[in-house]
């Protein structure tokens, strides 16, 4: 009995040892040391003792990796903006080429040329204006001289010839050619009002001279070279035609249908106008 008990105890010890090892590998199901004694007291009838106990390798716990310390980012230094040096103005002889520097003299030169041209043009206009004024003055002086000579050369009778009509308040030196065209146009206007065609008009030196003579003498008469003569005190060709229209013989002459042309002469002396007309 002792031999069995001793063997049994050895087997039980191995079994216990095996259970302990297994318990370590599978996390033991007990919490105190009473279970091994009970297993040793109760032998197992079917268990075959093994000379060498089978042991399971104790698993090596895998070390938990420690988190690597986070690197604290260093602040990135802010770039310092450097001010660009202000460009230096190009100076003569500096060797710096600048389009603006090159353009400035050209612009100034162009402006100066325009100014000079404008000044020259203004001077030319002023000179032309002065020359025109001088020419007009000379022409006026020549006309005045010619009129004076003409008036001086007028040989007028001291009295109005027989059969003539005195124009009271007129006469004396100073008579000159006047309103030849105006007299002709006034007659054509009168003809148009009566439904007649206009007549062509021409200046007659003979009738102009006769008008001057009448204006110098201060009366009107026929010289044999005209159809109608007249004198009016307001220097108006229209008034002269109106005066003719109030005389039947003179009106008949102005409204003739058998004529196509009229020769006209006119002269003034003061405010008086003298006229002579020939219809052909």
Give 261-279 pLDDT, tens digit per residue. 999 999 999 999 999 999 9
Give 84-146 as a DSSP string: PPPPPPP-TTS----HHHHHHHHHHHHHHHHHHHHHHHHHHHHHHHHHHHHHHHHHHHHHHHH
Tell me how far CA of residue 73 lies from CA of 20, 69, 78, 136, 274, in angstroms. Answer: 53, 12, 15, 102, 123
Looking at the whole model, is its pTM more than 0.85? no
Of 122 and 3, the one with more pLDDT: 122
What average pLDDT does the structure give for the chain? 75
Pick from 210, 207, 147, 135: which is nearest to 173 by CA? 147
Strands 200-203 and 261-269 turn out to be parallel
Give 213-233 pLDDT, tens digit per residue. 999 999 999 999 999 999 999
Confidence of residue 183 (pLDDT cuts 50, 70, 90): very high
- Alpha carbon distance 33, 183 (integer Å): 167
Of 119 and 62, the one with more pLDDT: 119
């Amino acid at each position: 009995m002792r031999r069995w008990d001793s063997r049994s105890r050895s087997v039980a010890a191995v079994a216990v040892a095996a259970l302990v090892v297994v318990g370590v590998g599978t996390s033991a199901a007990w919490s105190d040391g009473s279970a091994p004694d009970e297993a040793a007291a109760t032998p197992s009838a079917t268990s075959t003792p093994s000379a060498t106990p089978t042991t399971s390798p104790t698993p090596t716990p895998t070390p938990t990796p420690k988190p690597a310390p986070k690197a604290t980012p260093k602040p990135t230094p802010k770039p310092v903006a450097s001010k660009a040096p202000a460009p230096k103005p190009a100076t003569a002889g500096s060797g710096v080429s600048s389009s603006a520097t090159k353009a400035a003299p050209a612009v100034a030169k162009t402006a100066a040329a325009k100014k000079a041209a404008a000044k020259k043009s203004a001077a030319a206009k002023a000179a032309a204006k002065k020359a025109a004024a001088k020419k007009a003055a000379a022409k006026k002086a020549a006309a005045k001289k010619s009129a004076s000579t003409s008036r001086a050369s007028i040989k007028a009778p001291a009295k109005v010839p027989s059969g003539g009509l005195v124009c009271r308040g007129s006469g004396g030196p100073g008579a000159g050619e006047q309103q030849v065209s105006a007299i002709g146009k006034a007659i054509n206007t009168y003809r148009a009002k009566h439904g007649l065609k206009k007549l062509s008009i021409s200046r007659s030196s003979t009738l102009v001279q006769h008008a001057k003579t009448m204006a110098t003498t201060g009366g009107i008469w026929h010289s044999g070279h005209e159809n109608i003569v007249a004198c009016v005190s307001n220097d108006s060709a229209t008034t002269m035609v109106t005066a003719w229209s109030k005389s039947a013989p003179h009106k008949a002459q102005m409204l003739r249908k058998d004529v196509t042309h009229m020769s006209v002469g006119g002269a003034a002396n003061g405010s008086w106008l003298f006229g002579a007309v020939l219809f052909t």
